[in-house]
Amino acid sequence: MKALVYQGPGKKTLEERPKPDVAAPTDAIVKILKTTICGTDLHILKGDVPTCAPGRILGHEGVGVVDSVGAAVTAFKVGDRVVVSCISSCGKCDYCRRGMYSHCVNGGWILGNEIDGTQAEYVRTPFADTSLYHVPSGANEDALVMLSDILPTGFECGVLNGKVEPGSTVAIVGAGPIGLAALLTAQFYSPASIIMIDLDENRLQMSSRLGATSVINNRDGKAVEKVMQVTGGRGVDTAIEAVGVPASFLTCEDIVAPGGVIANIGVHGVKADLHLERLWDRNIAITTRLVDTVTTPMLLKTVQSRRIDPQQLITHRFKFDKILDAYDTFAAAAKTHALKVLIEA
């Protein structure tokens, strides 16, 4: 089969690999129909993710059809169409029983990281019963690819941890796919305002189309001032960090209102300053989270009923044998205006 393989920092190849086999009775082999590229794949390619060794097939998102199952798999059978979750959960360990699948001691975020991932014609998915989701008949499978990672990430790490409430004020720093997924799912709770902050005008225009009440371009470095103007000098109840650099975390520290929450989503590679000398008396909370994907079944229903339409985030399409072009397009997002690139069998 064809697969996209990480070859060490800065290097990737499209190459021929053997089709995977069931290795444990709880495994399923899924034939991938649609996959996509995540910002985290670019982090891996930069060498930021030491758990991902050269030789690894990348990818942790996708929709496919079950090709074979191990003897212990009962919830899925050959031919079932499935969403592959970016998180593999055994369903049995202490963390899984607490709904914290991201820290499953037998799984967690391993796909396209510690084990071969979804950017291939077939993928071996461990703990299939608790890590795959049935595609409802008649569903828009393009939209469902957004359920593997970005929708639960924006929702769980940003909206739920950030305690977005009816009438509240929200700012989302970073309007990439993750920030936009937070924007879409924050609207479940009818906040009074959602301010999107980015450096890219195209992403801010998309934010306005997807429901932002105001957008701020931080190219001039004046985002904090402008948020204060929009909020009558108060700041925001929820500041969602969806970039992963010190500057954007600092923006969140500067705009959070008394009693508010900073909900960090970004993957940080270097330290960010925590200004407790300014924050100690502001009754705030700071949360961090690796997506658990515990809300995937709920989000699937909201996509199915068209309460949200994540298909709007798909900007480009490629056939699988053009996946290297898909990477180039995705990596040059400022120029290509890419958000999510869909790669199809």
Ligand X SMILES: NC(=O)c1ccc[n+]([C@@H]2O[C@H](COP(=O)([O-])OP(=O)(O)OC[C@H]3O[C@@H](n4cnc5c(N)ncnc54)[C@H](O)[C@@H]3O)[C@@H](O)[C@H]2O)c1
Contact with Zn ion (CB under 5 A): which of 37, 90, 157, 263?
A: 90
Is the Cβ of residue 75 or residue 199 nearer to ligand X in the bound state?
199
CB of 223 to ligand X, least distance (A): 6
Please report whether residue 100 would count as binding Zn ion according to CB under 5 A. no
Is the Cβ of residue 59 or residue 266 nearer to ligand X in the bound state?
266
Please report whether residue 63 would count as binding ligand X according to CB under 6 A. no
Q: What is the DSSP string of 40-99?
A: HHHHHHTT--TTS-TTPBP---EEEEEEEE-TT--S--TT-EEEEPSSB--S-SHHHHTT
Is the Cβ of residue 29 or residue 206 nearer to ligand X in the bound state?
206
**Which window, 12-20, 40-48, 74-82, 263-271, contacts Zn ion (CB under 5 A)?**
40-48
Distances in whole angstroms, Cα of residue 116 to Cα of each of 56, 57, 107, 276? 6, 5, 13, 41
CB of 203 to ligand X, least distance (A): 5
d(CA 165, CA 159): 9
Contact with ligand X (CB under 6 A): which of 37, 52, 182, 242?
A: 242
Name the closest residue to ligand X (Cβ): 176
Site pattern 246..275 for ligand X (x: CB under 6 A): -xx----------------xxx--------
Q: Which residues pair with 320 in a beta bridge?
A: none
Distances in whole angstroms, Cα of residue 219 to Cα of each of 199, 222, 223, 328? 5, 8, 8, 24
Tokens, residue 171 = 């700012």
Q: Residues interacting with ligand X, by CB under 6 A?
A: 39-40, 43, 149, 153, 157, 173-179, 197-200, 203, 218, 242-245, 247-248, 265-267, 289-291
Q: Residues interacting with Zn ion, by CB under 5 A?
A: 38, 40, 90, 93, 96, 104, 149
